[in-house]
Amino acid sequence: MGRLAQTDGLTEIQRDILATVREFVDKEIIPVATELEHKDEYPAAIVEGMKQLGLFGLTIPEEYGGLGESLLTYALVVEEIARGWMSVSGIVNTHFIVAHMINAHGTREQKEYFLPRMAAGEIRGAFSMSEPGLGSDVAAISTKGVKDGEFYVLNGQKMWLTNGGTSTLVAVLCKTDEGGSTPYRNMTTFLIEKTPGFGPNPTVPGLTVPGKIEKMGYKGVDTTELVLQDVRVPADRILGGVPGRGFYQMMDGVEVGRVNVAARGCGVARRAFELGVAYAQQRTTFGKRIAEHQAIQFKLAEMATKVEAAHQMMVMAARRKDGGERNDLEAGMAKYLASEYCKEVVEDSFRIHGGYGFSKEYEIERLYREAPMLLIGEGTAEIQKMIVGRRLLEEYRIAE
């Protein structure tokens, strides 16, 4: 396994979980990932295997049928899965975010209804905040929910839903305009159950998932739009039962999501390093293996250092959240560092492979197309820097 990206202080249960997931990745994901990715085929057999392992309920409390594990355990599991194929980690990530939001903010009835079936993988979640004209500027949200008796009527268009077609539960952020003093207090999260599939939804009148968005990478997992035309949602499907809290609930979800994206970056970077260091010991030029050339050794040293630094930053951010502390500073740092380092490590491995790295027969070609998604997922590098900068000024503000 190598000595990179090891985590100190894990319990025996955590080590056993990671060993099981690592074996699953090596046997069930890596051998088929490139073929499925090139076909843009949903990894149904892999998903079924993850259900059997209980990964969809990894962080859901035991009282609701889950394993009750920490954010750190989840992040380390995601790192292992992304090492095999990043798209598979995306399938479980949005589900995890929605389960976290329901567990942290839902009513007792919502927890009892959703969480046991989410733990079993029977309900799979998707997370919907972005819109065609809205990325990081959440205050510009235009999808609207209007109260109509015991229901809300939703109209608008959402964008970039991971698992938009295959999910059966979507947490949707809408503008509700019910008297909040700021735009951020006029947003509400609605929990919408639906039938999986594309086109008009047969069980939710007015809800349409137009189809998969074609992407340069991150294939296999479906990324979609979501169109809502007079969709009626019962008021008891407001997350937490009270309107106006949606922005803060979503930001809590994004905060743990940033740790997840950092973990994905760590996993992809680690796989790129593994491929690069192996190829460097197989390829010969000028009468010796290229690993013996100082230029390649320097590159491997830089790659390994970045893999290790990103992993330790991600672990720190997860542990801080698990400890009940505010972690937006560390999560922003971890997401920024891991995604940028992932891009650089993948590119260096690509360079080590030379012309073969450009061939679809080699795994590094897939990683080279997947890494850019991490630069923009859960907030761009610029957004992370803005978050980190603001928090640093709070921490180090001088007396005036």
Q: What is the pLDDT along the chain (400 residues), one digit of tens a residue?
A: 678 889 999 999 999 999 999 999 999 999 999 999 999 999 999 999 999 999 999 999 999 999 999 999 999 999 999 999 999 999 999 999 999 999 999 999 999 999 999 999 999 999 999 999 876 778 789 999 999 999 999 999 999 999 999 999 999 999 998 867 788 889 999 999 999 999 999 999 999 999 999 999 999 999 999 999 999 999 999 999 999 999 999 989 888 888 999 999 999 999 999 999 999 999 999 999 999 999 999 999 999 999 999 999 999 999 999 998 888 899 999 999 999 999 999 999 999 999 999 999 999 999 999 999 999 877 788 888 888 899 999 989 988 7
Amino acid present at 280:
A
Q: Which helix (H) or strand (E) holds 386?
A: helix 381-395
Query: Measuring CA to CA, which residue among 126, 7, 29 is closest to residue 82?
Result: 29
Q: What per-residue confidence (pLDDT) applies to 68?
A: 95
Q: What is the largest CA-CA distance in the chain?
A: 80
Task: Output the pLDDT for position 1.
Answer: 61
Report the distance separating Cα 339 and Cα 372, nearest Å. Answer: 8
Q: Give the residue numbers annotated as catalytic, written as ranges.
A: 378
Beta-strand ranges (E) seen in the chain are 125-128, 144-148, 151-162, 169-175, 187-193, 199-200, 207-209, 223-234, 284-285, 288-289
Burial of 14 (0-12, 13-18, 19+ CB in 10 A): middle
Q: What is the residue type of 54?
A: G
Phi-psi region of 206 (alpha: psi -120 to 50; beta: other; left: phi over 0): left
How many CA atoms lie less than 13 Å away from 138 in the CB half-sphere? 23
How far is it, in rounded angstroms, from Cα 214 to Cα 217? Answer: 9
**How many other C-beta atoms are found inside a 10 Å radius of the C-beta of residue 257?**
23
| pTM reported for the whole predicted model | 0.94
Contact 66, 119 (CB under 8 A): yes
For 205-354, list the strands marked E by DSSP: 207-209, 223-234, 284-285, 288-289
Q: Which residues pair with 189 in a beta bridge?
A: 173
In sequence order, the β-bridge partners of residue 232 are 153
65 and 251 Cβ atoms separated by less than 8 Å: no
pLDDT value at residue 383: 85
Predicted pLDDT of residue 338:
96
Q: Is the CA virtual torsion 256, 257, 261, 263 positive or negative?
A: positive
The confidence score (pLDDT) of residue 178 equals 81
3-state secondary structure of 42: coil
User: Which pLDDT value is given to residue 54?
Assistant: 94
CA angle 10, 14, 19 (to 5 degrees): 115
Question: Residue with structure tokens 């046991």?
Answer: 116
Token pair listed for 200 = 């008009």
Q: DSSP letters along 126-190, please?
A: EEE--BTTBSS-GGG---EEEEETTEEEEEEEEEEEETTTT-SEEEEEEE--SS-SSGGGSEEEE
